[in-house]
Amino acid sequence: MSIARRSSTLIKISLAAATLALLSGCFERHRSTDSLCEKYPEICKDTNLNDGQCRLQRTNLIWQRYDVLKNPVDNEKYKELKFTYDYQKCLEYAARIEPTELKERKTLRNHALLKSYASIQRLNEELRQSKDPEIIYYRWSQGDKKALRQFLMLEGTPALETPDLQLALATFYTYKDKEKTIRLLKHALELYERGQKIKPEIIQSLATLSHQTESNQNAYFWAKVGTELETSVASQDKLISFYPMPEEQREKLDEKAEEVATAIQRGKFRASMVN
């Protein structure tokens, strides 16, 4: 066999192997939940399998547990924790339903509910020493004062340079320093990239804080930005009633609000645009 033909054959074999590996990965990832539970029973055994209640929440949790099994890092465990909370909330409701048939289903639901409490406790313990800023904030939100100190030490560092974490930081200063809170909320808007979903709490907080500091023009302006972003703070009639001003001034604020909302949506917003 010539060198050229041999090389061509080797290339074809390599491509075929790569294709099989890729297909194998796809099949591995997209198998049914039932077959996943057959292969990894430990991630399913404490759930209410074969029960019509909480099917979506149960499926989300099982697949996330699979992700943790394959990659047991803090971020994946935190996702599992959030899915467990969703599952637990559903089970708390489902456990009150009396099945018309198969009475053992209620027992299974109650068992799964108790196990969800234990899973949450276990995951909280595993994440107690995590250095991930989002997890530190979560622990703070659960009343962990040590986590609050850890979170505040990250202020001004790249670790908190996301919209959600800037919003979280702003919540700490809401009753301590309103002007700083407003700066942090504006910076949160600066960090959005094009197409990202805007958290309505940021716009609502800017409007509320402006109102509290008796900056009526800013309060009206941010409320209008919220309207443009479809996170309306109040109806137009109420805004006109709350914030009386000359019509020409109102029109200028409306135009500016539309401009700023567009900039936020395109990931082009800068705080200097509204100073």
Contact 246, 273 (CB under 8 A): no
pLDDT surpasses 50 at 232: yes
Pick the residue with more confidence: 163 or 230? 163
For range 40-45, the mean pLDDT: 95
All structural domains of the chain with their residue ranges: 32-126, 131-157, 161-274
* H or E segment to which residue 14 belongs: helix 3-30
Contacts of 263-270 with CB under 8 Å at 24 or more apart are 264/189, 264/192, 264/198, 264/225, 264/229, 265/194, 265/195, 265/198, 265/229, 266/194, 267/192, 267/193, 267/194, 267/195, 267/196, 268/194, 269/189, 269/190, 269/192, 270/190
Residue 104 confidence class, pLDDT cut points 50, 70, 90: confident
Give which of 150, 122, 120, 126 is closest to 136, Cα–Cα: 150
Residue 102 confidence class, pLDDT cut points 50, 70, 90: low
Give which of 165, 166, 137 is closest to 151, Cα–Cα: 137
**Integer Cα distance of 143 and 141 in angstroms:** 5
Tokens representing 13 are 């074999």
Contact 222, 210 (CB under 8 A): yes
| Mean model confidence pLDDT for the chain | 88
pTM value?
Answer: 0.79
Lowest-confidence segment of 90-99, 219-228, 255-264 by average pLDDT: 90-99
- C-alpha triplet 171, 215, 257: angle, nearest 5°: 85
Distance of CA 149 to the CA centre of its chain: 23
| pLDDT of amino acid 20 | 40
Contact 137, 147 (CB under 8 A): yes
